[in-house]
Amino acid sequence: MTTPLADATAPACVICHRALWTDEQHRYACPPCTLRIAGDLAAIPGLYAQLPTVLAPGSGSGGPAVSGSRTAPLPLRLEPLSLHARGGVTATLQSWIEDWHETLGYQPQRWTGGLQQQCEQAVARLQLLLPWASEEHPAVDDFAREVRELRRACERQITGEPAERKIRLACPCGRILAVTLDTLGRECGCGVRYGRAELFDLPLADRRQVAA
């Protein structure tokens, strides 16, 4: 039977910052965080396919098309367009595959079809390599954050949900941690690692304090 490590200096998940169990210490990302990444990846192709349906002004989070302005509205909404166009969601996912392939010494990925097909190909490839990245890639936390941000950005454009509000929490060291309700864990600049539960037990920061 394995036991969690209580020592604050012991190996911890780079995403949620909980101490890794003794049989997990070879990993960068713990199994629950790896599952969350897989879930975010799985959601992206379907969300990406819906972005073209909210390009018109007044659709999605664009609000009503009626306006008191004399200026004609833009023919397309820029936010979902930037996510769906070249350089958006698909390009971000592909850049991670290029990074992982280079690290592993693999040949460059070949892409076929349009952007939707390439998005699906990228997600499938990332899902396949995710177990390796969770154990071997030190920047898997950056990957997890970008994938979550892509998913949430697409969801907001489709559903009209406003951007998440930052919450400013005060570490006992005096530093301020800016987080959202989606934050799984955070390491303060003083070296203290907070899991989600410990993080949201911190007091709210004074408005006059400067964010770290």
* Average predicted confidence (pLDDT) for the chain: 85
pLDDT digits (tens, 9 = 90+) for 83-117: 999 999 999 999 999 999 999 999 999 999 999 99
User: Confidence band (pLDDT; 50, 70, 90) for 10?
Assistant: confident
**Eight-state DSSP code of residue 54:** G
Whether 6 has a pLDDT exceeding 50, the answer reads no
Please give the share of the chain, as a percent, with pLDDT higher than 90.
Answer: 54
Could you tell me if 51 and 80 are in contact, meaning their C-beta atoms sit under 8 angstroms apart? yes
Element (H, E) at 193: strand 193-195
Cβ atoms of residues 115 and 82 within 8 Å = no
- Number of other residues whose CB lies within 10 A of the CB of residue 88: 20
Pair 29, 143: CB distance under 8 Å: no
Per-residue model confidence (pLDDT) at position 73: 55
Look at residues 117, 52, 123, 39 and name the one whose alpha carbon lies nearest to residue 85: 52
Lowest mean pLDDT among 38-42, 127-131, 174-178: 174-178
**pLDDT tens digits for range 11-67:** 899 999 888 888 888 999 999 999 999 999 999 999 999 999 988 876 664 444 444
Q: Looking at per-residue confidence, does 68 or 29 come out higher?
A: 29
With contact defined as beta carbons under 8 Å apart, do 42 and 28 qualify? no
